[in-house]
Amino acid sequence: MFIFLEVYQTAGGATLVQEESPAVRVTDIDREIKRLRGLRERLRAAVSIDERRLVLESDPEVQRVWKAYRDSRHALRLDEAHGKYLLDCMIAAGQGHLLESPTLLPSKERVNGKHSNGALHSNGALKESDTGVSLLDGHSDRAPYLDAFQMLADAVRKLELDGEPDAPNHPALLTPLLAPEHLAPANAHAWEQRLAGQSKSGIDAIQKLTDMLKRLEKFYDSIGGVVGYQLAALELIRASEEREKCVEEVESVLAGDSDVPLSESSLWDGSELLEEAGEETNYHMPVGPDLAADPGFAQRAAAWGITGLPSMGEIYPLGGAGDRLGLVDERSGECLPVAMLPYCGRTLLEGLIRDLQAREYLHFRLYGVQHTTPVAIMTSAAKDNHRRVVELCKQQGWFGRGRGSFRLFEQPLVPVVAADDGRWLMQEPLQCILKPGGHGVIWKLAHDEKIFDWFHERGRKAAIVRQISNPMAAMDATLLALSGVGLQGGKRFGFASCERRVGASEGMNVLKEVRTPSGEWRYGVSNIEYTEFERMGVCDVAVAGDSHRSQYPANTNVLYVDLGAAHRVAASEGRAALPGMIINLKKTVEYKDHTGRLQRARAGRLECTMQNIADELAQTFPERLSPEAYEDLDTFVVYNSRTKVSSSAKRRRKPGEMNLHQTPDGSFFDLMANAHDLLTQCDVALPPVGAKAEYLQKGPPFFVLLHPALGPLWDVIRQKIVGGSLARGGELQLEIAELCMRHVSVEGSLMIRAENVMGEASVRRTSGSIRERILTFGRRTARCRLENVTVRNMGIDWSCLANVYWQNRLQRDEMLEVVLHSDAELDARDVVLEGGERIEVPAGHRLRITRAPNGGQVRRLEPLEKGVGGESLPSWHWQHKLRENGRVELTLVEGPERPAEQTESALAASGKN
């Protein structure tokens, strides 16, 4: 099986100029859509792969491209028949231009009749035996000087050989092009080596192309594979064009420049791509509980979430490229994905795992049973995302959870399609520009990769979905209440939502009411992306005339999903498996093409939105529902204050820019606002957060970071921290869970760091011969008890320009740092701790600091009491109980914890005591 490739290029100087491809450009999108629809139906009707091959080979587009290449001097043989099939799919989809490759493989004349390994076959073929690919040299009547110029362009663009001149007009550079036999032996060998490398690169390029097509064909099989991908992209491009035309006609009519009445103008919004003809759609404000407005309900819902934690999984879509953040590895200079953003001193992924472990730890403190939630992570190849995430997990020892509690699956990269002609943008010969296909691919991919089965095997009924760029979603009761409402009500899909500002670049949550042609009514809470407002007929207006608050709440991509329901949708045929397909053409794509020239094109890739799977979970009723019934739907929404739900870090703030929206700086500002609200509720006096302009100029008025296991519920933290103060410019970092802090005043910096925050990690056998470090909750946990303590030192150097607050990179003049090794304890009462100091308490000991009779300090280091097995016993502990109203009530108990306490708490939570 042979694929003939022609190089249609000329050269001028050192600039490679590409001529028109024989592949026909898409000049009539309607005609191309009709052609691709017919082709897709014929492919679907074919029973076997051989029949599908015949369908493709009879396609006029495929025949036209191969006929144009028939007399080429280059022919590439693929021993794997499926490779030819995939290229036929690509050509049939109108992308034959990708086969133009000046560097695919050299002809025998260009290597003076010899291959780099000295093997020249009698039939003129150059063979690469270990790849299954061969180059057959045919005859060509092309002018010899074109070959020379082609090689000149290749040399200038592709190669810098040791010892070769740098200047493109150097005579020595032209000599080997026009007369290779005149080369000195050393140079001739170097030239042959270059050509051999060029051959290998061509083979690798064609292999990468077919690999990409294979993934595309498999993933989009529900809509027709490669052909279906292109068809869906063109349909959405067409809808976008018609929408623009519609807007122009409306503006013309309203301006009085048109003779056509508005009712007769050719208005079309492309809705037939998404809805059946005859459907009528209305949008309403989603109805749901507000955790901020009803603290009592928030407590009950969070309690449902704590109780149901063993039924929950966690899903993290980490596949985003994060181009707007511009992350770069400081050592290697390589681009980094969003997951590697160093937020508050650790990567965003580490932050998500800490949040999850905090909820698990609270469940453990109540019930005495440790549950390890399975975590599915969708990565991508963008910016080496997958490899870096795997390496991070390995470096962190899989966070003490065991490798088996994670499943990583890679998101496909998809071609970027030009809006003007439907072509896939090409940046190198045989290589198109690829971008992640949107987080909505997660459902279909989870089905293909057996992720749903993996969750089911572990007894998980539902999952929380979090985007990596939003570190605020686990604040207080948000995630526990979201899962609690979903589990308690037997819901199928839910959104954590909050207020939204008019004009913000974020989607909306709406209650979608659809009247079907049959007279039935379909209802469900859904999402509309901000790029789709016009097409969906949604106006981004304020809830009131002078308000900046949008009439609809924000979509935050903080989701609850019933795994069984999602699995059924993902396994279905057609577009249902790929929810919310869109193509964003609002931004111009800049890229360098295969000649190295900067190009700009209006283009986009086919994307799916993961939250729009809710549209496939909508319910149908024979009669129209009353608004009172909206809250009983299977899809739901839970509201909370915005800073407790969403504050993303998606883009880098430009120098001098005042807009903090979706920047790490803005997210950290909201984190400090949360810290202020929490500590105020703890009766801790501290300065106000202040305005954002002041924050940008001077930094935050204080610096507070708390380990999520300290709560994570704020009501739990309120019982651990009571009273005291934090002065302006003060710093409080608490990397500890078992803390009792009463009336502590901080003037400067206080950092308490426990080596074992929630327990101890020890090496255990997890499966077979695999031994891993696994975290055991409650084992040898560090503790700190501070009562009537004043901390006074110089603290942070706020004038230091090198401070990066959101990264927790600070320059300090002085600080009090407390380091608790293993199960160490610190107990300080009625003292003033002045100046900079590092207090380290060794494992198995308690350091007591008390006031001396003369006003000084008394410090006593004493060993902790030993238990039966020789392990140290804590001198005090918090007893946790879950009350009937949902409140987690803490009682400080002197001495070690009795196992019966947790049993009593579990019984109280279930109402059996």
pLDDT at 395: 94
What is the reported pLDDT for 200?
Answer: 62
Which residue is listed with tokens 């997210």? 667
- pLDDT at position 645 is 97
Q: How many residues comprise the chain?
A: 913
Q: Which of 679, 716, 733 is nearest to 363 (CA)?
A: 716
861 and 888 co-located in one domain: no
pLDDT for the residue numbered 259:
52
**Rounded alpha-carbon distances, angstroms, from residue 170 to 173, 175, 309, 539, 905:** 5, 9, 72, 63, 85
User: Are both 332 and 431 inside the same structural domain?
Assistant: yes
Residue for token digits 């005609």? Answer: 31
Rounded to 10 degrees, the C-alpha dihedral 709/866/897/478 comes to 10
Mean pLDDT, consecutive 10-residue segments, the chain of 913 residues?
Answer: 36 32 54 94 94 93 78 47 86 89 42 32 32 32 40 43 40 36 53 55 80 94 96 91 65 53 38 57 96 98 99 90 76 83 95 98 98 97 88 95 96 93 89 91 96 98 96 98 98 98 93 96 96 86 87 96 98 90 88 86 93 96 96 97 95 90 95 98 97 94 99 99 98 99 99 98 81 95 98 98 96 98 98 98 98 92 92 96 97 82 50 39
Are 830 and 903 in a shared domain? Answer: no
pLDDT of residue 547: 87
pLDDT tens digits, one per residue of 559-597: 999 999 999 999 998 888 999 899 988 889 999 887 788
pLDDT at 119: 29
**Cα distances (angstroms) measured from residue 812 to each of 726, 750, 796, 802:** 17, 11, 4, 11
| pLDDT at residue 66, as a whole number | 80
For the domain that residue 309 is a member of, what is the CATH number?
Answer: 3.90.550.10
Q: pLDDT averaged over the chain?
A: 83
Percent of the chain with pLDDT over 70: 78
Residue 362, sorted as left (phi over 0), alpha (psi -120 to 50) or beta, turns out to be: alpha
- Contact criterion met (CB below 8 Å) for 32 and 234: yes
> Could you tell me if 864 and 744 lie in one domain?
yes
pTM: 0.84
Q: Per the domain annotation, does 272 fall within a domain?
A: no
Going along 41-164, which residue ranges are E strands?
Answer: 74-77, 126-128, 133-135
Is residue 481 located within the same domain as residue 592? yes
CB atoms inside a 10 Å sphere around CB 278: 9
- The residue among 590, 616, 644 that closes a domain is 644
What is the pLDDT at residue 414? 95
Do residues 860 and 913 share a domain?
Answer: no
DSSP 424: B
Tell me, yes or no, whether 881 and 859 share the same domain.
no
Whether 315 and 396 map to the same domain: the answer is yes
603 shares a domain with 525: yes
Same domain? 10 vs 137? yes
How far apart are the C-alpha atoms of 384 and 363, rounded to whole Å? 36
Question: Is residue 268 included in any domain, yes or no?
Answer: no
- How confident is the model at residue 106, as a pLDDT? 39
On whether residue 812 sits in a domain, the answer given is: yes
Q: What is the pLDDT of residues 624-675, one digit of tens each?
A: 999 999 999 999 999 999 999 999 998 999 888 999 999 999 999 999 999 9
Q: Looking at the structure, do residues 823 and 846 belong to the same domain, yes or no?
A: yes
* pLDDT on residue 160: 38
Assess whether 779 and 835 both reside in one domain.
yes
Q: What are the residues whose beta carbons fall under 8 Å from the beta carbon of 189, sequence distance 6 or more?
A: none
The answer to whether residue 17 sits within a structural domain is yes
Taking the C-alpha atoms of residue 106 and residue 122, their distance in angstroms, rounded to an integer, is 17
* Count of structural domains, the chain: 4
Provide the domain limits for residue 899. Answer: 875-913
